[in-house]
Amino acid sequence: MMFEGMKAYKTADGHVQLFRPDMNIARMVRTNERMCIPELPGDLFLAAVKAVIWEDRDWIPSSPGTALYIRPFIFGDEVSFSVLPAKHYRFMIILTPTGSYYAANDGGLSTTRIFVQDTYIRAARGGTGYAKVGGNYGGGMRASLDAMKYNCKDVLWLDAAENKYVEEIGTSNAFFRINDEVITAPLDSGTILPGITRNSVIQLLKKWGVKVSERKLSIDEIIAASKDGTLQEIFASGTAAVISPIGCLNYKGTDYKVADEKVGPVAQKLYDTIYGMQTGKVEDDMGWTYKLF
């Protein structure tokens, strides 16, 4: 089973728009190729999204922090026990009106606690980490339950080979601002989901003149930065949460607080800009929004 995640936003002037749907289509193509799922034309995908949203357009919320979450998915539907690619598949889309993923009571941003997972892994080189498939998430459930024991909302995954380098935060991509450099894990290992918000964050930071690097970053480097005061911000990026600031890392039983658990300025600016573009409150000078109707 593969799936995608995207949102429809209602703008102040009553239009409904998507955010970078071409990126969802490109990722779906890569996932389907990896999972032996037949190719689905991108224009059919987009037309189906538009058609179902039109029918349920009255369900699109408009309060701050809200959107209509869109879940397209494809699954093999033949009756078989064989461990072989299916011969028949179904493509479906369901919709859910959502609020902020990790919201403060006023709908704005709040920080979360994250558990550094050094027992289980999310993805290994040559696996399906870069693809949007259910198994990547199913395998993370045990780790998420462990994180809850430490009062953490999610996990920071380390790499499978050395259990040393940071990869993703739960279902989101991870960014670390250390000494005015924003660092995120590179995609070349094939273990990182190429997030659409991740790509948008990198492009915006470059546009703003912020030093941004896609490179390996070890958990030891992060802990050292926390101890010497150069760890300025950690945040996660994803469709559901947009930008989710991290206020504390729990690693091997010790809490490492980030910026006194306050929302950092880069995370806040990114959220305001991206969510502002998505809802039409900020001019989209990147050409990322797609008006549905």
Partner 1 sequence: MDYNFPVIRTTHPKPRPEDESKLGFAKYFTDHMFPTPPLRSSLPPVCCTTRR
Note the residues at the interface with partner 1 (CB under 8 A): 36-41, 43-44, 47-49, 51-52, 55-56, 58-59, 61-63, 66, 68-69, 72, 74, 77-82, 84-99, 101, 107, 240
**What does the longest C-alpha to C-alpha distance in the chain come to?**
58
Smaller CB separation from partner 1, 95 or 243? 95
Name the minimum Å distance from CB 209 to partner 1. Answer: 34
Name the minimum Å distance from CB 201 to partner 1. Answer: 21
Smaller CB separation from partner 1, 12 or 81? 81
Name the minimum Å distance from CB 40 to partner 1. Answer: 7
- Radius of gyration of the chain from its Cα atoms, rounded to whole angstroms: 19
Rounded to whole angstroms, the Cα distance separating 284 from 289 reads: 7
Smaller CB separation from partner 1, 38 or 265? 38
Name the minimum Å distance from CB 51 to partner 1. Answer: 5
Smaller CB separation from partner 1, 82 or 229? 82
Smaller CB separation from partner 1, 155 or 240? 240
Q: Which residue, among 69, 90, 88, 68, has the nearest Cα to 80 in the 3D structure?
A: 88
Rounded to whole angstroms, the Cα distance separating 131 from 122 reads: 12
Structure tokens at 165: 């380098």
In angstroms, the Cα distances linking 65 to 103, 243, 263 are 8, 11, 16
Name the minimum Å distance from CB 240 to partner 1. Answer: 6
Q: Which residue, among 203, 150, 193, 149, has the nearest Cα to 171 in the 3D structure?
A: 193
Q: 281 with 271: CB under 8 angstroms? A: no
Q: 23 with 17: CB under 8 angstroms? A: no
Smaller CB separation from partner 1, 86 or 187? 86
Parallel, antiparallel or unpaired: strands 254-257 and 242-251: antiparallel
Name the minimum Å distance from CB 7 to partner 1. Answer: 11
Residues of 80-108 as b/e, b for ≥16 C-beta within 10 angstroms?
A: eeeeeebeebebebebeeeebbbbeeeee
Name the minimum Å distance from CB 245 to partner 1. Answer: 17
Smaller CB separation from partner 1, 40 or 182? 40
H runs (alpha helix) in 121-193: 134-138, 141-149
Secondary structure of residue 216 in the 3-state scheme: coil
